[in-house]
Structures are given as structure tokens and as C-alpha cells.
Amino acid sequence: MKYICKPCKYCTNIKPNYDKHLTTEKHARMCTTSIITVKSKKNNNGNPDTIAFLTSELKKMKLKYDTDQKIKQEVKELKHEVIKVVKVVQDAIIQQKNSEKKFIRLSKTNLNQLRKETAEKLKIYDKLTKKIVKEKDEHIVLLKNVCNKSMSSIKYIMTYFNHRNTLKQLSGSDAREMLSYYVDNKTGQTKKFDSLYMAADCIKYLYENNKLAKFIGDKIIDKYCTDEDKRSFFNTDLNRLNYVVRSCNGQHFYWDVDKEGTILTKRVILPLLIETSKIITDHMDNEQYKIKLSKNKSNPVLLDEYLDWQGVDFKIREDVNGGTLQKKILSHITNKFHFKNPAKVKALE
């Protein structure tokens, strides 16, 4: 179908194109010109049908123009509202993004702080671990040195001291003989006890004043602390009170490792302690002392003295059974019998 605009002499088969043409300024101008021309001709006997048609076209055009303007205004207002809504949405999106960025930034900060704290704690842990390992290694080295020193001392003694001076079991008579002497504090001379009572009274005094272990230890030192090449026992460990003792089996002479001085205690220290207790009991069983007690039964001084003897004898036996006196004696004599290893001294030099 053809669409024709007579005033403009416009012709088209497309309806939208025709509608668009009717809204153009050219079309409005041509219609106005045509109306004026027609009116002019009417006044000069022009065609009335043509005038009516043009007038109708002009009204249609005006109506369409007004409608288009209204639509344009509505579109403009709608566009403005859309822009406002879009701006609000964009602001919301931006705010959300900023919040997310802030959250991420804070999260990163907290994470970095946590990593930093963890790293510091790990450093401290590593330092402590290294310190513990170092101290452990040092302790192991120290223990090895002590063990090596003890073992090398034993080896040195076994290699270079091959004499036959063994440590024999101390007899009761030999122990009594050792205990029958004392050192005079005034003159510094060694003297023998004048009587059994004097010996017992001295032992009682020494025990009550915690000096008995030193007294017996000094007796052991006097008898056994000879030249090293003749000595029958050595201390090889000051802390553990370990010794080596010269022994024999028939014609086979050897050094016996004596942990904590067990052999030395059995052969020397115990016989001396047993004899110490016997001196007190022998004094209490002495015939003259018993006669003296029987004649003076009502004398409280003599009775108290006798009870004191019994008490001291009981306590000495109790300390011997508990091993207290033996350890005190070993501790007292250890330094005197400690072997100073020449090999170690040379190594240090």
C-alpha cells in the first residue's frame, strides 16, 4: 500500500516512515504554505475541498506534535527517575565494595598480625628448643667426660700398678689396735688410751658430738694412705664414692671395681665400727665396772651413766644398720684416696 502526502509530494510503502514524515518541520511548513495558498485562492474563488483537507491535516499534525511532546516530556522525566535510581544503586554498590575492601583490608591486617605473632612464637620456640638440645648435649658430653675420666683412671691403675699389696679383711684385733690410739689436742702427739673406760668414754664423746666418722676415717687414712705404687685401694669417682680395690684369687692378683665403696666398707669400715661398739659393751661388761655398779645401786649418777652407755651403743648399732656411719666415713676419706690420673693431667697441659 502506498502512503502519499500531497502537500509535500511524499510517497512511501512503509507506514512508520510515513508517520515519521508527518511529524517533520518540512511537512508542517508545506501544509501551512498550502493552506495560506488555498485561502488566498478561496478569496479568489479557490476550491473549498482542498482547504478543508489541508485544515484537517494541520489539526492532525498539531495533535500528533502535542502528543509527541508530551511523550518526550514523560520520557525525560522517566529518564531522570531512572538516573536517580541508578545513582542510588551505584552508590549502594560502591559502598558495599568499600565495605568489602575495608573488611578485606582488616582481614589482611589481622592475618598479617597473626602471622607476625606466630612467627615470633616460632622463633621463641626454636630458641628454647635449641637451648634445650644444647644443654642436653652439654650434659651428655659432661657425663661422657666423667665416665671417660673414671674409666681411664681405672685403666691406668690396672695397667701400671701390679703389686701384690691386697686389701685384706680387717680382723677384730687389728681393728681394736687401730682404735686404741688418739691424738692429744694439746701436744698433737699420738697416744694410747690408758684404759678401756678411757677408750669407751672417748668414743661416747665423739659420737655425741658427731665426730666419730672423722675419728675412724683418720685411722683408715693413717694405716692405708701409703705411696701410690703400694696402695691397696683408690677412689676413682668423688661424687659416686666409687673405688678400685686390690684383690687376689690364689696367685691371681687383680683390681676389683668397687661401686660406692661396698668392698672397702665390708673389709675395713664395718670391722672398725663393730669393734667401736664392742669397746663400749666390753666396758659395760667389765667386771670391775659391774662391781662398782652393784655396790652403788642407789647412786643415780652411776645409773644414768650406765643408761647413757647403753643409749650410745644402741644408736651406733642403729646407724651402722642404716649405713649412715659407713657413708660418712667414705665421704671423709675419699679425697685422700682419690686417684689423680697423670694421663688426664698431661692432656690438660
> Given the DSSP bridges, would you call strands 242-249 and 233-237 parallel, antiparallel or unpaired?
antiparallel
Cell of 287: 667386771
Domain assignment present for 254 = yes
Domain assignment present for 138 = no
Write phi, then psi, for 167 (nearest 5 degrees). -90, 105
The last residue of one of the domains, among 21, 54, 76, is 76
User: Are 72 and 171 members of one domain?
Assistant: no
- The SS3 assignment for 54 reads helix
Q: Which pLDDT value is given to residue 346?
A: 46
User: Are 170 and 302 members of one domain?
Assistant: yes
Cell of 54: 489541508
344/182 Cα distance (integer angstroms): 38
30-42 burial: b if 16+ Cβ within 10 Å, else e:
bbeebbeebeeee
Q: Identify the band that residue 143 occupies on the pLDDT scale cut at 50, 70 and 90.
A: low
Residue 257: which of 158, 341, 147 has the closest Cα? 158
Q: What is the mean pLDDT of residues 75-81?
A: 80
117/301 Cα distance (integer angstroms): 81
Q: Which residues pair with 183 in a beta bridge?
A: 190
Write phi, then psi, for 6 (nearest 5 degrees). -65, -45
Is the pLDDT confidence value at 44 over 70?
A: no
Domain assignment present for 118 = no
Q: Which pLDDT value is given to residue 348?
A: 40
- E strands, the chain, are 3-5, 10-12, 181-183, 190-192, 233-237, 242-249, 252-258
Q: Which pLDDT value is given to residue 162?
A: 92
332/128 Cα distance (integer angstroms): 41
Give the type of residue at 9. K
Residue 292: which of 306, 282, 279, 278 has the closest Cα? 306
Domain assignment present for 89 = no
The last residue of one of the domains, among 76, 101, 132, is 76
User: Are 41 and 181 members of one domain?
Assistant: no
Q: Residue 211: is it exposed, middle or buried by C-beta count within 10 angstroms (0-12/13-18/19+)?
A: exposed
User: Are 317 and 204 members of one domain?
Assistant: yes
User: Are 51 and 169 members of one domain?
Assistant: no
Q: What is the mean pLDDT of residues 305-317?
A: 92
Q: Among 121-125, 141-145, 188-192, 230-234, where is mean pLDDT lowest? A: 141-145
Q: Identify the band that residue 212 occupies on the pLDDT scale cut at 50, 70 and 90.
A: very high
Q: What is the mean pLDDT of residues 218-234?
A: 94
Average pLDDT in the chain: 83
Residue 232: which of 219, 248, 213 has the closest Cα? 248
Cell of 289: 665396772
Q: Which residue has the cell 474563488?
A: 45
Whether the Cβ atoms of residue 254 and residue 248 lie closer than 8 Å to each other: yes
Q: How many domains does the chain have?
A: 2
Between these two residues, 95 and 37, which has the higher pLDDT value?
A: 95
Q: Among 38-52, 198-212, 219-233, where is mean pLDDT lowest? A: 38-52
DSSP code string of 259-274: GGGHHHIIIIIHHHHH
User: Are 221 and 341 members of one domain?
Assistant: yes
User: Are 219 and 70 members of one domain?
Assistant: no
Q: Among 83-92, 172-181, 261-270, where is mean pLDDT lowest? A: 83-92
Q: Integer distance in angstroms from the first to the last C-alpha of the chain?
A: 130
Between these two residues, 65 and 8, which has the higher pLDDT value?
A: 8
User: Are 71 and 197 members of one domain?
Assistant: no
248/267 Cα distance (integer angstroms): 14
Is the pLDDT confidence value at 338 over 90?
A: yes
Mean pLDDT is highest, among 104-108, 170-174, 305-309, for: 170-174
Mean pLDDT is highest, among 39-48, 224-233, 285-294, for: 224-233
Domain, as residue range, for 321? 164-348
Residue 329: which of 317, 338, 318, 320 has the closest Cα? 320
User: Are 190 and 303 members of one domain?
Assistant: yes
Domain assignment present for 122 = no
Q: Among 53-67, 120-134, 257-271, 309-323, where is mean pLDDT lowest? A: 53-67
Q: Which pLDDT value is given to residue 349?
A: 42
Q: Among 23-32, 181-190, 235-244, where is mean pLDDT lowest? A: 23-32
Is the pLDDT confidence value at 38 over 80?
A: no
Domain assignment present for 145 = no
Residue pLDDT, tens place only, 150-176: 457 888 898 889 999 999 999 999 999
Domain assignment present for 103 = no
Domain assignment present for 208 = yes
Q: What is the mean pLDDT of residues 80-97?
A: 80
Q: Which pLDDT value is given to residue 56?
A: 74
The last residue of one of the domains, among 29, 52, 76, is 76
User: Are 65 and 189 members of one domain?
Assistant: no
